Amino acid sequence: FPPSSPTASSAAGSRILNSSVSSPYCPCAFSTAAQQRSTGDECGPEDPRDEPRHPLSERTLELKASKLEEQVRDLTERYRKALADSENVRRRTQKFVEDAKLFGIQSFCKDLVEVADILEKTTESTERETEPSDPKPTLKKIYEGLSLIEAKLQSVFAKHGLQKMNPVGGKYDPYDHEIVCHVPAEGMQPGTVALVTQDGYKLHGRTIRHAHVGVAVESQE
């Protein structure tokens, strides 16, 4: 091929220069497209997670609040009942322990009062057979000794909460007395205790042996 002439080369260079001057480079076009891609403005399916959620209605919130309040009341009531039951159990247990301490010797006391009965009857029998001018000092000393023993025994009973009943003249009480006979009400109100054939005893206020009594009744003519 023949070499191009200097005139042709000069004309081509002039066209390139004019094209670059008439269409200058603008970086804004590229930055705008990049911004559109970064902000997600390009066309495409929308992400359902970006959709705004509808807030709960006021009525729904009120119903939920009411249900929660009801649950709180129910739990509070159960808690109070549990506390009351626990307190009742504690009191019953404490009462049981206290009764065990007080009445643990109940069986022993019931057996011991029978010994006191024999001692009392022996003392009364000796007293009836002993006269003030009796020349037998031995019998008198026996009586005095028995009287001291009986008094000491009753003192020990009282110290431990065991007391002998004295129902004569009082109103008959089925919780403390057992009727063994009826006697005419001479100078006494009917229904009162006229005599005692066997003493009754109480341990810390609880009857452990009923008194055998005779109750006064109106005479039948």
Residue 139: closest CA among 159, 156, 151, 125 = 125
Q: Is the pLDDT of residue 58 over 80?
A: yes
In sequence order, the β-bridge partners of residue 184 are 217
Mean pLDDT to the nearest integer, 28-51: 49
Higher pLDDT, 85 or 116: 85
DSSP 8-state secondary structure symbol assigned to residue 171: B
**pLDDT reported for residue 188:** 85
When pLDDT is cut at 50, 70 and 90, the band that residue 53 belongs to is low
Q: Is residue 190 part of a domain?
A: yes
Q: Does the pTM exceed 0.75?
A: no
Q: What is the CATH number of the domain that holds 171?
A: 2.30.22.10
Lookup result for tokens 């009826």: 182
Q: Is residue 178 part of a domain?
A: yes
d(CA 90, CA 212): 39
> Taking the chain, what is the end-to-end CA distance rounded to the nearest angstrom?
179
Among the ranges given (17-31, 126-140, 200-214), the one the predictor scored with the smallest mean pLDDT: 17-31
Q: Is residue 150 part of a domain?
A: no
Reported as half-sphere exposure (CB side, CA atoms, 13 A), residue 50 has a value of: 4
Q: Is residue 159 part of a domain?
A: no
Query: Which range of residues forms the domain containing residue 181?
Result: 165-221
Q: Is residue 56 part of a domain?
A: no
**pLDDT reported for residue 41:** 47
Domain count, the chain: 1
Q: What is the pLDDT of residues 136-189, one digit of tens each?
A: 667 777 888 888 888 888 888 888 888 999 999 999 999 999 999 999 878 888
**Beta carbons of 213 and 196 less than 8 angstroms apart:** yes
Q: Is residue 179 part of a domain?
A: yes
What distance separates the 2 farthest-apart alpha carbons in the chain?
A: 189
Rounded alpha-carbon distances, angstroms, from residue 181 to 118, 167, 172, 219? 22, 15, 12, 14
Q: Is residue 147 part of a domain?
A: no
Q: Is residue 221 part of a domain?
A: yes
- Percent pLDDT > 90 in the chain is 23
**For residue 217, what is the enclosing H or E element?**
strand 211-217
Mean pLDDT to the nearest integer, 74-90: 90
**pLDDT reported for residue 1:** 45
Higher pLDDT, 199 or 119: 199
In sequence order, the β-bridge partners of residue 177 are 211
Contacts of 168 (CB under 8 A, 6+ apart): 193, 194, 195, 196
Residue 201: closest CA among 137, 93, 84, 116 = 116
Tokens encoding 93 = 């247990």
